[in-house]
Chain A
Amino acid sequence: MTRPFSFLLLLLAPAWSAPADAEKFYAEKVHPILASNCFECHGEKDKLRGGLRLTSQAGLRKGGDLGPAIDETNLGASLLLRMISYQDDEHQMPPKAKLRESDAAVLRQWVGMGAPYDPALEIHGKDHAGFAITAAQREHWAYRHLVEPAVPGNRGGHPIDAFLDAKLKSAGLTRNGPAEAEPLARRLHYNLTGLPPTLEEVRSFADQARREGLGRAVAARVDLLLASPAYGEHWARHWLDLVRYAESNGFERDNPKPHIWRYRDYVVEAFHADRPYDRFIIEQLAGDEMPEVTQASLTATGYHRLMQWDDEPADGEQHRYDVLADNVQVTAETFLGTTLGCARCHDHKADPFSQRDYYSFMAFFHGVTPYQTAGSIVPWASGGEKMAFEAARAQRLSEAKAALESLDGELAAWLKETGRLGGKPMKPMHWVDDAQGAGAEWSYTTQLPVPDWKETSFRPSGWSKGRGGFGMPQTPGAIVRTEWQTPEIWLVTSFGLDALPEDLSLRLHHDEDVEVYLNGTEIYRAKGYLTEYTTVPLGEVALKALQTGRNTLAVHCLQRGGGQYIDVSLRSGIGGFATVAEALREGREEIRKAAQARFGRDMVKQRQDLTARIEAIQKEVPGIPLNAVQETRGEVRPLHIHLRGSAHALGTPVEPAFPAVLASPDANPPVPASVGKVEREGATSSGRRLALARWMASGDNPLTARVMVNRIWQHHFGRGIVPSSNDFGQLGEDPTHPELLDYLASRFIASGWSVKAMHRLILTSEAAQMSSAGTPQGLARDPSNELFWRANMRRLTAEEIRDSILAVTGKLNASKTGGPSVFPPLPPEVLATSSRPGANWPVSPDPADHVRRSLYIHVKRSLRHPFLADFDQADTDSPCAVRFATTVPTQALAMLNSGFTNQQAALLGERLWREEPDLESRVRSALRLVTQREPEAKDERIATELVRRLQSVGSLDERAALDHLALLALNLNEFVHLD
Chain B
Amino acid sequence: MNPSNRPKGTFCGQLRRREFLHTAGAGFPALALAGLLSKEGFFSSAQAAVNPLEAKPPMRPAKAKNVIFLFMYGGPSHIDTFDYKPGMVGMDGKTIDVKTFGRGGKRNQGRIVEPKWKFKPYGQSGKWVSDLFPHIGQCVDDIAFIHSMTADSPIHGSALLMMNCGSVISGKPSLGSWVNYGLGTTNENLPGYVVMLDQSGGPISGAKNWTSGFMPAGFQGTVFRSQGEPILNLANAAGMKRSGQRMIIDSLNQLNQSHLAARPDNSNLAARISSYELAYRMQVSAPEAIDLSQESEETKRLYGMDRPQTEDFGRKCLLARRLVERGVRFIQIYSGGAHNDDNWDAHGDLVKNHTHHAGATDRAIAGLLQDLKRRGLLEETLVVWGGEFGRQPTAEYEKGTGRDHNAYGFTMWMAGGGVKGGVSVGATDELGNAAVENRCHVKHLHATILTLLGLDPNGLSYFYGGLDQKLVGVEGADPIREILS
Contact = CB atoms under 8 A, between A and B. Distances in A.
B87 interface: no
A511 B337 CA distance: 28
Contact of A252 (B101, B157, B337): B157
Contacts of A861: 170, 205, 208
A315 B463 CA distance: 28
A350 B208 contact: no
Contacts of A835: 201-206, 337-339
Nearest to B169: A322
Interface string A250-293: 11111000000000000000000000000000000000000000
Q: How many interface residues does chain A have, given as a range?
A: 35 or more
A950 B247 CA distance: 8
Contact of B279 (A313, A485, A893): A893
B241 interface: yes
Contact of B278 (A97, A717, A889): A889
A654 interface: no
A964 B247 contact: yes
A100 B23 CA distance: 57
A634 interface: no
A887 B271 contact: yes
Interface stretch (B57-65, B89-97, B370-378, B393-401): B393-401
B307 interface: no
Interface stretch (A171-179, A369-377, A783-791): A783-791
A135 interface: no
A449 to B, nearest CB: 12
Name the residue in A795, A877, A885, A960 with the highest tally of chain B Cβ atoms < 10 Å from its Cβ: A885
B26 A329 contact: no
B245 A718 contact: no
Contacts of A718: 25-27
Name the residue in A487, A884, A943, A974 with the highest tally of chain B Cβ atoms < 10 Å from its Cβ: A884
Nearest to A886: B31
Contacts of A313: 153, 155, 158, 168
A74 interface: no
A877 B170 contact: yes
A314 B168 contact: yes
A872 interface: yes
Interface stretch (B117-125, B298-306, B352-360, B434-442): B434-442
A250 B170 contact: yes
B467 A339 contact: yes
Interface string A88-104: 00000001111000000
Interface in A802-852: 827, 829-830, 832-837
Contact of B216 (A793, A794, A872): A872
A971 interface: yes
A960 B241 CA distance: 12
A11 interface: no
Interface in B1-35: 6, 11-13, 16-18, 21-33
Contact of A885 (B30, B153, B238): B30
Contact of B201 (A464, A487, A783, A836): A836
Contact of B217 (A719, A723, A870): A870
B171 A341 contact: no
Nearest to A333: B465
Interface stretch (A379-387, A393-401, A725-733): A725-733
Name the residue in B156, B225, B237 with the highest tally of chain A Cβ atoms < 10 Å from its Cβ: B237
Name the residue in A251, A333, A446, A729 with the highest tally of chain B Cβ atoms < 10 Å from its Cβ: A251
Name the residue in A447, A484, A977 with the highest tally of chain B Cβ atoms < 10 Å from its Cβ: A977
Given A342-B467, A892-B278, A897 B272 contact: no
Contacts of A169: none
Interface string B243-257: 111011111101110
A954 B241 contact: yes
Interface residues of B, number: 125
A254 B170 CA distance: 12
A876 to B, nearest CB: 8
A180 to B, nearest CB: 11
Given A833-B202, A862-B205, A953 B399 contact: no
Interface string A965-977: 0011001111001
A887 B30 contact: yes
A598 interface: no
Contacts of B110: none
A889 B197 contact: no
Interface stretch (B77-85, B228-236, B309-317, B320-328): B228-236
Contacts of A786: 18, 22
Contact of B275 (A254, A349, A889): A889
B248 A967 contact: yes
Interface in A931-979: 936, 938-939, 942-943, 945-946, 949-950, 953-954, 956, 960, 963-964, 967-968, 971-974, 977, 979
Interface string B190-227: 01000001000111111110010110111000110100
Contacts of A597: none
A314 B33 contact: no
A731 B13 contact: yes
A968 B252 contact: yes
B141 interface: no
A252 B399 contact: no
A883 B6 CA distance: 18
Interface of B is mostly: loop
A891 interface: yes
Given A885-B268, A892-B278, A837 B255 contact: no
Contacts of A326: 169
A829 B152 CA distance: 32
A832 B254 CA distance: 38
B239 A953 contact: no
Contacts of B454: none
Contacts of B33: 887-888
B279 A892 contact: yes
Contacts of B27: 717-719, 723, 792, 794, 882
B47 interface: yes
Interface in A289-342: 308, 310, 312-315, 319, 322, 326, 329, 333, 339-342
Contacts of B211: 875
A79 interface: no
Given A886-B218, A893-B233, A310 B252 contact: no
A793 B25 contact: yes
A949 B248 CA distance: 10
Interface in B400-416: 400, 407
B42 interface: no
B463 A731 contact: yes
B169 to A, nearest CB: 5
A594 to B, nearest CB: 46
Nearest to A50: B475
Interface stretch (B132-140, B259-267, B287-295, B379-387): B259-267
B466 A340 contact: yes
Contacts of A98: 436
A836 B339 contact: yes
B184 interface: no
B109 interface: no
Nearest to B235: A897
B267 to A, nearest CB: 9
B475 A49 contact: yes
Interface string B26-53: 1111111100000000000001000001
Contacts of B237: 897-899, 902
Given A95-B439, A251-B204, A794-B26, 6 more contacts: A312-B155, A729-B466, A733-B18, A772-B263, A793-B268, A942-B258
27 contacts: A250-B157, A310-B168, A329-B465, A445-B399, A446-B399, A446-B400, A487-B348, A723-B21, A729-B466, A733-B18, A774-B265, A792-B26, A833-B197, A834-B202, A863-B206, A863-B207, A878-B465, A882-B28, A888-B31, A892-B275, A893-B279, A898-B232, A942-B255, A956-B244, A971-B276, A974-B255, A974-B256
Considering the complex of A and B, which 3 residue pairs feature the smallest CB-CB distances, nearest first? A339-B466, A877-B171, A719-B27
